[in-house]
Every structure is written in C-alpha cells, then in structure tokens.
Structure 1
Amino acid sequence: MTAADNPPDPAGEPMDLIPAPRTAAGSGPGFFTPDARTVLRAGPGTATAERWLRSAVGPALGLPLAPANTGRTDGTEPAEPAEPAANAEPADRTDRAEPAGNAIVLLVDESLEREGYRLQVDAARGVEIRGGSAAGVFWGAQTLRQLLGPDAFRRAPIAPGAVRGIAEQIIEDSPRFSWRGLMLDVSRHFTQKTDILRYLDLLAAHKLNVFHFHLTDDQGWRIEIKRYPRLTETGSWRSRSKWGHRYSELWDEKPYGGYYTQDDIREIVAYAADRHITVVPEIDVPGHSQAAIAAYPELGNTDVVDTASLSPWDDWGVSPHVLAPTENTLRFYEGVLEEVLDLFPAELSPYIHIGGDECPKDQWKASPAAQARIAELGVGDEDGLQSWFIRHFDSWLTARGRRLVGWDEILEGGLAPGATVSSWRGYGGGITAAEAGHDVVMCPEQQVYLDHRQDGGPDEPMPIGYVRTLEDVYRFEPVPPTLSPEAAAHVIGTQANVWTEVMQERSRIDYQVFPRLAAFAEVAWSRLPAPAERDYAGFERRMNGHYRRLDALGVDYRPPGGPLPWQKRPGVAGFPKEGTPPNV
C-alpha cells in the first residue's frame, strides 16, 4: 500500500530515532500508512507488545488495530471463543493464513539477540517486528511508535485521518548493555504512584529497562511493611522540609509525607513488567536510616544517643544516626526484606539494593556496645563492621535466590562475595570491583547525576553540583578504557541517578531529567564511538524531532534556550560547584 497522499511529516527528519539503532536502511520507494483496516497479528510470546500497541499507540492515532484472526475491522471485541479441550495444544496464531497486507505482525525469533529486534516496513504488506524475546519485540514496537511521528505519543488523536506514513525500510538493532537504568529517590520528596507509572512509560519510550526505586532514607520511609506498621505511621512523615539546599535558610513548615501501600507496589511492579522493566527496590542499611530509627528507636545506638527523641529528618545531607550492629537489627531487617521479596518476585526483580553508602562511623566509635561487637566478630574496625552488615545480607539474599547490589562504599572493609556494585563516587569503585570479578553498574556522580545543574547561568532553579550539559551526558562513557576485556565484561550497564532534595514536584523532576535522559538512553543502548568522536551535532538534530515527542507526552523538560519563567526558582539557594568535576 502507498501513502503518496500522506507522506512522512516534513517537520521531522526521515530518521530521528532516539536511541539511534545499530543499522537502518531504506528498502524501497513506497510508504505504509496504518488505517482503520490495519490489523495486528501477534505471535506467541508477544502479548506485552500487542497489549501496549493496542492500548497506547492505537488510541493516540484513532486506530483500532483489530486482531487479525477475528476478521473484525471496526475495533469491536470478538465473541468469547469456546474453551479448548484440556489436552489441546495451544493455538499458534502465526500458523494462520497471513493477510494480503495492511498488518502489523509481531513475532519472536530466537535467532536474534534477546533484546534485539528487526523491524521491516513494506508498502504492500505493512510492518513486521521480530524480536529475540518478548522484550525485543517490545523495543521494536517502541521504535515503530517513533516512526509514526510525535502524534503517536498522545493519548487521543488530534486530527482525524492524519496518521503519518512510514517509509519502506529495515531496522536491525540491539542494546549495548543489559542494565539501562534510572534511579529515582522518593524519600526526600515523595512521587505519587500515578507519576511512578508515568515515569515507567517514559523509561520504556527510551528503551531503558531498570527502575531503581530508592524507597527509604533519613527523610522518609516509603514502603508499607505490615509487620512493622510504625515504619509508615511514623517514618513516612516529617514535620517540615528544607526549601532549597541544606545551606538555605528557608523552610517549608508544612508536614510532608506519603508512602506506597503493598498493593501500590504490586501494581508498580506489574506495570513495569508489562514494559520489560526490572524494578530494583532499595532498602538502606546501615546508614541513611534515621526514619526507621525514629519509628523503632531500638534500631539505633541507644547507649550513646537518645533515639526515642528522633523523628524523620527535616534537613538534607548525611544523618549521623545509623543502625546498631545487633542481632535484633538483623532480625528486624530480615523481616522487612521478607515482605520486600514477596512484593518484588524473583522472576521480575532478581536484584535487591541495600544501599551501604555514606554511613558515618562516629556513633559506632563512641558506642561501647558497637566496640564490643567489633571485638566479638573479629572484624577489626568500623569499616569491618559495615562490611559485616553487608556480607550478612549478601548471604541472606543469595540463599533466597536474589542478588545484592550496593553503592561503592560496600567495598570498604571487604566486598561481599555475591555483591554487584553501583559505582557512584567516580569510576574508581567500579574499576576495583570489576577487576575483582564483581558485576558493576556505572553511575558516577560527576557524569550522570541528573540533579546536577544543566547550565552555568543564574536562572537554573536551585542549582546543585557541577554543570552537566546535554552534550556532557552524551559524551559519557560507562566503560573505562583502562579495564581489561575480562574486567570490562563485568560492567553490566549504567544508570542515571536522580536525588530529589530540591525537586518538590513532578515538573521539577521532569526539568532535571529531560532532555538529558534522552542522551543517556542513547549512551546505554547504542554502540557509540569514543566520546570525542561522537556526532553530537547529529544527535542535536535528532533531538529536534524528539522534543516534539516529549511535548506530546507532557514532559516539562528544560528547553535548549534555558528555563521558562515558571521553571525558575529565584531567591532559593542551591549549591553550585565550580570548575571541572573530579574523576572525569
């Protein structure tokens, strides 16, 4: 079928895909334009892409995308089929006669890489997406959505019959890394469940497949644990919040809080799974635990601190209040994690993050009980005591078929045998861990902390950290060139991190995350050349089309020309750092 009367949108480039595919080439002069008669043929194992195309892309363009095997073209549901015999083989819809054309066909082809896909557009037949697995088919469907133009990112059609034609072409693609993630801190500022689901859609649109869910910290405990109800009754609310950076003199005196019920968590995990996104929950030990200690004072170092007087922290920074190294603390957190494992099933969330970062040792040094524990365990010093914490939960999780992840401080005092390291203080921790044979997720603060400011100008809202522009993120390289091939293979991926101390609502998160997440997604997915050789000018040209997609999705991104008037926060202090970030 041709589309001479409805060619591709001239406002967009012929190939403005983000992230960039491995190969893309034209295969003919024609165009395919889906219409009301276009059917969707979904082979075995492609149900997630089928559901998503029909629920997200179809409504945006006013297309029913009727199932091919019903004969329906009006979008109505067919009659419920009769139940098959108990011993019948499952029906394989791909064995049926293929329509003459005007179809979108989804197939699993195990000859392709697991997350890879091959997308072919034929003017006479339609679109065929083959993926190495259900995930590969889903990523191919995301590419199809981009090819259909920015209007495919809306929730309802804005002009009848204005579906964009797709040029005949073949795209073959697969990701560089298996871990392509975003971490969102919901402790400092709580993100509503509906906005979490929205962010999962935004991750999927950029072919990111890990959502690191930072659920607990000093300022708030955000996950319901039924056997310990005070974690949310007390730990999820603080009396007030700092307005701006911790050096700001301004306060928001309104009580602040919120948490996810267990049913909320189940919904988030299921929603993510339908988009081939792994949710990695983070439960912090032994530092960043003031909210938990405020709820259950016996978890703290009671021989040196009046823990009964604590409340969830209303300030930012690193709290001095850390967990006591007792058997009671271990049993408590085992109880927490038992419920966490139930909410995050192993087949959907094999990794559990336990933090392990920024644990001040002052209370342990002053505590006779902690010092006696160090002697009893024979761990040498406070670093050894922290390592003992991490090793305990590494063994505990391993025995239950899970893998522990921790920030690179878990290297201090000796790395737990099964641990994966999130390398945030530059590349150093990740290099050490990879050379020791441990898996690593590279997320250095100096490169991919999206709370850092995007420009050096005076109008950036509450500017934090170093200037990390869109181009800086695009030139980020997750694998240090000094690693041997064997060690480099342990860099399983990368993630961008978003800490929300100065991000009070969704629009502020959007501003900090976008458009830089688009650049990060290309780094994580595409096989780019060395940083200095990357075609940033070409990426900027492709971003012209991508901004229109973000507009259609309602993302409050930072415009290329700087913040809009309502995006600024005049008079609210940040903490900008000058010069070149270290370890870059």
Structure 2
Amino acid sequence: MDLIPTPSHTAPYSAEASFTLTEATALDAGPGTARAERWLRTYLGAATGLPFPPSPPSTKGAGAPERAAGGTVRLAVDETVSGGPEGYRLTVDPASGVRVTGGGPAGVFWGVQTLRQLLGPDAFRRAPLRPRTWQVPACHLADAPRFAWRGLLLDVARHFMPKDGVFRYLDLMAAHKLNVLHLHLTDDQGWRVEIRRHPRLTEVGAWRERTKVGLRESTRWDERPHGGYYTQEDLREIVAYAADRHITVVPEIDLPGHSQAAIAAYPELGNTDVLDTAALGVLTQWGVNPNVLAPTEEMLRFYEEVLTEVLEIFPGPFVHIGGDECPKEQWRASATAQVRIKELDLADEHELQSHIVRHFDAWLARRGRRLVGWEEILEGGTAEAGLTPGATVASWRGFAGGIAAARAGHDVVMCPETHVYLDWRQADGPDEPVPIRHVRTLEDVYRFEPVPAGLTAEQAAHVIGTQANLWTEVMDSARVVDYMAFPRLAAFAEVAWSDLPAPEERDWDGFEARMRTHYARLDALGVEYRPPSGPLPWQRRPGVIGRPMAGPPPEL
C-alpha cells in the first residue's frame, strides 16, 4: 500500500479485494469527529467529486444506522483504541465500507489521512481529473505515533513566508502526520508578528533594505527591500487552521540574542553605552550577530508586554524564547551590564544570560505555559539551578544538550543540526543550490534516531519528540523551500511517527520503493521536491556561494 509513515500493524484482506466509493457512499461521523469530517468532505470531496451524503438514520429505534446503498465511511472515537488519543484503527471491508476509529479526535483525523493515501495519488488533487472509479484496498490497519511532538520549524524571520504559504505547509504537515509547527517569528533580519503595544516592531523591524545572496563569503546582494509580517488576526487564523488539522503552533520570540530587528525599532533595547544603537538597522546579512539585548529591567518589561500579546494569540502550552547564540562581548564592555551582574550577585555574563532565561521561564510558568529554548538555556548554571520543571530543551548542536537536559529531568525535543537541519545540502555535486555544511541525504534522514543511546528508560521518556528545522537564510522563495524540505521531510515524518528498528536495521530499500508512490502524491500536491536524480535546471543556483564542508558531520 506504500504508506508513509508506515503504520504499526497492517493486515490486507487479499490482493484483489477492495471497497468502491460511489456517489451513494454515505459519511457517518460520530461525536468528536467534526474536524475529520469537515476535512474529508472538503479535501477528499474535492479530489473525488463525491458528495459523501450523511448516513441514513436508523428506522429501528436504537441501534446502528441503516446501511447505505453505496456503503459507508464511518468515523468514530473510541478511547479504548490502543496508542492514546492519536492512535487509530482503519478497516476497509469490501461489502460494507470504511471504518476509521480513533482513540481521540486526532486519531480519527490521522486515520483519514491514511485513507487518502489508500485512494491513490489523485486523491491529493484539488479537483477530479476525469470520471473514474475510486477503490480502497481491503485491509485492517492499527497505528499510533511514537512521539507526541512531531515538529517542523519554519523560519519566516529570515525570508518572510506569506500567510497562504503557511497554510500550504500546514496541509503538507497534516498529510505526513506532523503535529507541531514551530514558527520562528523574530530574528536579526526581521520581526514578523504584530505587537500593538509596540508598533515600531513591525513598522521598522519587519523589513530590511537589502539581502545578502548566499552566505557571508558571498559578494552578491539582492538590492530589493525585503519584508512582511503577520497581523494578530492573521496569526489567529493560522492557529485555527492548524487546530483543524490537530497541529499546535509554537511561536518563537528570540532573546536575548538574534534581536537586532527589535533594537532597530527600539534602540533603547540595545547596549547603548557600548555603541550607537540608533544607527542600527535591520540586519541585511547572515551569521551570529554581536548586537544583543541589554540586560535591563526595562528590557524585561518590554518583552513581558510582547509575550503578553503573544499568549493572547497562541493558546498552546509551549512558547519558544530562543536563547541561543548570544555573544557576550557587548555585555563585557557595558558598564550597565557589569553593574547588573553585581546587583544580581552573578558570577559572569553566562549567568546573566541564564538569569534572563529563568526570568521568562518563571513568568511563563505563572501563566500556565511552558518555556522552550535551544540547548543554550542550560548554560550559566545547571538545569536544576533555576529552570522550572516544565522548561523544555530543543537540542540542536548534536545530542549532548538533549542528553544533559533529559538527565536533569527536563523534556527534550531532538533536532540535531547534524541530522535534521534541512538547509544542509542534499548531495555532493556541483549543481546543489547554495550548498551548506555537510551532505544529509534522504537515506541519512531516514536513519536518524531521535533517542540517543546511554539514557535510562526514565530519562529516555523525557524525549517527547523530534523536529526538522527549515532555516531560510538562502531559501528566498516557496520553490526553494520545497526543494530543501522534500523529499527529506517525508523520511523525517516516518522517523517521528513510526516505531522503527535501529538505524542500521531499517528497510531503506523498502522505504525507497514506497517513496516512488509518494513522489506521485507530492506531484499531485504541487510540491517542487528534489528529484532523486538531482536538481532540475531551474532548481540550481550557479554562482551563489554557500559554505560546504567535506566529510560526514562530526557526530556521525
């Protein structure tokens, strides 16, 4: 059946048996299945042209509805389904139809995504191509995810992605059973969320005058201004659209580093006794930036006001505050920062950064939310020294940060750059566009194991999930984002969902064979993925300098 991600248990009836969907096939949606029902009517209805009329009511009083003449697609919630709320069972009976039963509403939705795959690649189109017979192979599936956090980071700060593009990626995530969208909303190169108390964040911080083409060694520039931001209503719409697909949106507001766009808008946020912050604009190039937030009470109040509005937009439990790549040179040179270190009885600038992180960790916890930060939030003091129990670490520089966090009792999202940074190049050839770092192939991603060796069972349980990160410094269009994300995101989705064997024991040949069918699904969805044979002529970027490195990544 070529399903991706592969289900936990599959039992086909026979190679020949199937159920045929017709215009008379009814849809019986039980309590708790409204989102899956709405999605099925909207998307499968559009692709097949079938009306899916409601199931006829029972004429026998209590009991099941009458069987529809064309069979029935039944959606139901049953909390006894194994695998928890996201688990599901899918049964296709040639005589009676399709039944999708989820442990919760999310499980029903994921089961309907599997049904879409069983219908073939044309079920991924927006309109029927021609009159045809829609057949579902007779089978019984039982499935549930391995991880609760199956994430994708979209970096909309470096290159802005218009709202429709975010909707499209939410649809692509749903098709692959990914359930966390991490929106990287602020950075040195742009501020993308409307904050009504501080309008200059978008008036000034949402656009830059020009953009470096390639990485720092490049001498090329795109002289067009680049910008854009989401209004609060835009983001509420994105959150609602995601929720309809059982996807949680996690916002990231970077601090105290990666903050030059905010300083350009409000110069008093920077280290004014070290440099003329009023002369700073939104950063036009890439790399770790020395212009960081000043560690003042005024800065803390400013970001509390920012986060107050962020919490009103994003109802999910997690809020990401960045916390990574914060150079300390300006704090060392700043009299204000040095006084602050003494006032707080801190040892050094590293503990000063830890103080800022702990401040917002406690601030979020008092409001019923959980802080997420890159692994640097463990620096300047151990995890036991001040982070709340709910603070969660995103481990990106390899596995060490995640291991340390899990051993300290903190939840972890594994997203090591060595394995799941999808801006890294996909092959070693000269035609790869803007080659970055080491080669990470489709097979490399398929063999990624999120839970590192050496953890006890209790510690391993703190690895709540994994995430692939799409950093967009050199991804300046939706077409380029597609090329870097796919097909590797399909392999990542299987790693995040399926309980696979050890990396060296995985059936790469079988996955590669299933991908041949999946490429047709991606074609139907209009995804401009990297072909297995290499980039197409228009996917290349000749002359644009990246930063390729030879050999495998250090941790491999």
What's the TM-score bracket when you normalise by the shorter of the two chains?
over 0.9
Give distance in 2, aligned partners of 1:397 and 1:195: 30
Provide the residue aligned with 1:5 in structure 2.
none
Shift of residue 482, structure 1, vs aligned partner: 1.0
Aligned position for 2:123:
152
Alignment-derived partner of residue 13 in structure 2: 27
Give the 5 Å matches for 1:22-61: 22-28=8-14, 30-61=17-48
What is the alpha-carbon distance in structure 2 between the residues aligned to residue 98 and residue 133 of structure 1? 25
Please show how residues 84-99 of structure 1 align to structure 2 within 5 Å.
96-99=65-68
Shift of 1:26: 1.4
> What does residue range 336-485 of structure 1 map to in structure 2 within 5 Å?
336-345=306-315, 349-414=316-381, 415=383, 416-417=387-388, 418-485=390-457
8 Å contact from structure 1 (residues 42, 94) kept in 2: no
- What RMSD, in angstroms, separates the aligned Cα atoms of the two structures? 1.4
Q: Which letter maps to 2:536? A: L
AA matched with 1:23: H
Contact 1:356–1:409 (Cα < 8 Å) also in 2: yes
1:268 to 238, 245, 250: 238
Deviations 1:175-214 (A, max 9, x none): 0000000001001100010000000000000000000000
Q: Which residue of 1 is the match for residue 4 of structure 2?
A: 18
Distance of 2:129 and 2:65 partners within structure 1: 35
What does residue 324 of structure 1 align with?
294
Deviations, residues 312-342 of structure 1 (Å, cap 9, x unaligned): 0000001111111111101100000010000
Q: CA deviation at 1:162?
A: 3.8
For the 8 Å contact 2:24–2:69, the answer to whether it is kept is: no
Q: Aligned equivalents of 2:186 and 2:426: distance in 1? A: 27
| Distance in 1 (alpha carbons) for counterparts of 2:350 and 2:554 | 25
- Tell me, in whole angstroms, the C-alpha distance in 2 between the residues paired with 1:307 and 1:39: 64
Deviation per CA, 1:463-500: give whole Å up to 9, x if none: 11110000000000000111111110000000000100
In 1, the alpha carbon distance for the partners of 2:537 and 2:29 equals 47
Change (3 A) 1:93 1:401: farther
8 Å CA contact retained: 2:21, 2:70: no
Where 1:213 maps in the other structure, the secondary structure is strand
- Change over 3 Å in CA distance of 1:231–1:93 after alignment to 2: farther
Give the C-alpha shift of residue 102 in structure 1: 1.0
Matched, 1:533 2:505: yes
Structure 1 window deviating more from structure 2 (46-55 vs 58-67): it is 58-67
Which residue is equivalent to 1:76? none
Name the structure 1 match of 2:110: 139
Matched, 1:292 2:262: yes
Q: Which residue of 2 aligns with 1:313?
A: 283
Structure 1, residues 401-453: CA drift from partner, whole Å, max 9, x if none? Answer: 00000000111012322310000000000000000100000000000000000
How many angstroms apart in 2 are the aligned matches of 1:471 and 1:16? Answer: 17
Which of 192, 198, 208 aligns to 1:238? It is 208
Give, in whole Å, the separation in 1 of the partners of 2:199 and 2:305: 12
Give the letter aligned to residue 342 of structure 2. Answer: A
Q: 1:185 aligns with which of 148, 152, 155?
A: 155
Contact 2:188–2:282 under 8 Å retained in 1: yes
Specify every segment of 5 or more residues in structure 1 that has no aligned partner in the other structure, as ranges. Answer: 1-14, 72-91
Q: Which amino acid aligns with 1:477?
A: E
1:498 matched to 2:470? The reply is yes
For 1:159 and 1:96, the matched residues in 2 are separated by 32
Which amino acid is 1:451 matched to? Answer: D
Residue 440 of structure 1 aligns to which amino acid in structure 2? V
- Matching of residue 557 in structure 1 with residue 529 in structure 2: yes
1:52-71 maps to which residues of 2 (within 5 A)? 52-69=39-56
**Alignment CA distance shift 1:379-1:97 (3 Å):** farther
Pairing 1:484-523 to 2, within 5 Å after superposition: 484-523=456-495
Would you say 1:106 and 2:92 are equivalent positions?
no
Residue type at the aligned position of 1:365: R
1:265-308 CA distances to partner (integer Å, 9 max, x unpaired)?
Answer: 00000000000001000000100000000000110011111110
SS of 1:270's equivalent?
helix
Does the 8 A contact of 2:24 with 2:68 survive in 1?
A: no
The CA distance in 1 between the partners of 2:85 and 2:244, in whole Å, is 16
Contact 2:57/2:66 (<8 A) preserved: no
TM, length-normalised to structure 1 = 0.92
Give 1:46 deviation, angstroms: 0.3
Q: Distance in 1 between matches of 2:54 and 2:511?
A: 37
Shift, 1:94, TM fit: 8.2
Q: How much has 1:161 moved relative to structure 2? A: 2.3
Q: Say which SS state the counterpart of residue 451 (structure 1) adopts.
A: coil
Distance 1:292 1:436 in 2: 33
Verify the 8 A CA contact 2:75 2:99 in the aligned structure 1: yes
Q: Could you tell me how far apart the structure 1 residues matched to 2:78 and 2:27 are?
A: 17
Deviations 1:551-570 (A, max 9, x none): 00000000000000000011
Q: Distance in 2 between matches of 1:438 and 1:98?
A: 51
The code of the aligned residue for 1:34 comes to L
Structure 2 unaligned regions, length at least 5: none
Report the Cα offset of residue 27 of structure 1: 2.6
**Which amino acid letter does the alignment assign opposite residue 499 of structure 2?**
R
Query: Could you tell me which residue of structure 2 aligns to residue 82 of structure 1?
Result: none
Following TM superposition, by how much is the alpha carbon of 1:263 offset from its aligned partner in structure 2, in angstroms?
A: 0.8
For residues 60-114 of structure 1, give each alpha carbon's deviation from its aligned partner in whole angstroms, at most 9, with x where no partner exists: 011111221489xxxxxxxxxxxxxxxxxxxx99854454661100000100221
Shift of 1:237: 0.6
Q: Which moved more, 1:283-292 or 1:572-581?
A: 572-581
Asked whether the equivalents of residues 33 and 75 of structure 2 are also in contact (C-alpha less than 8 Å), the reply is: yes
Structure 1 residue 116, shift from structure 2 partner: 0.4
| 8 A Cα contact 1:43 1:93, kept in partner | no
Please give the secondary structure, in 1, of the residue aligned with 2:242.
Answer: helix
Give the C-alpha shift of residue 522 in structure 1. Answer: 0.3
Aligned to 2:138, what secondary structure does the other structure show? strand
TM-score by length of 2: 0.97
What SS does the corresponding residue of 1:446 show, helix, strand or coil? helix
Q: Is the 8 A contact 1:41 1:94 kept in 2?
A: no
408-417 or 335-344, which moves further after superposition? Answer: 408-417
Q: Does structure 2 conserve the Cα–Cα contact (< 8 Å) formed by 1:300 and 1:322?
A: yes
Report the 3-state secondary structure (helix = DSSP H, G, I; strand = E; otherwise coil) of the residue aligned with 2:538.
helix
Is 2:552 the counterpart of 1:566?
no
Structure 1 counterpart of 2:98, from 103, 120, 127: 127
The alpha-carbon deviation at position 31 of structure 1 amounts to 1.1
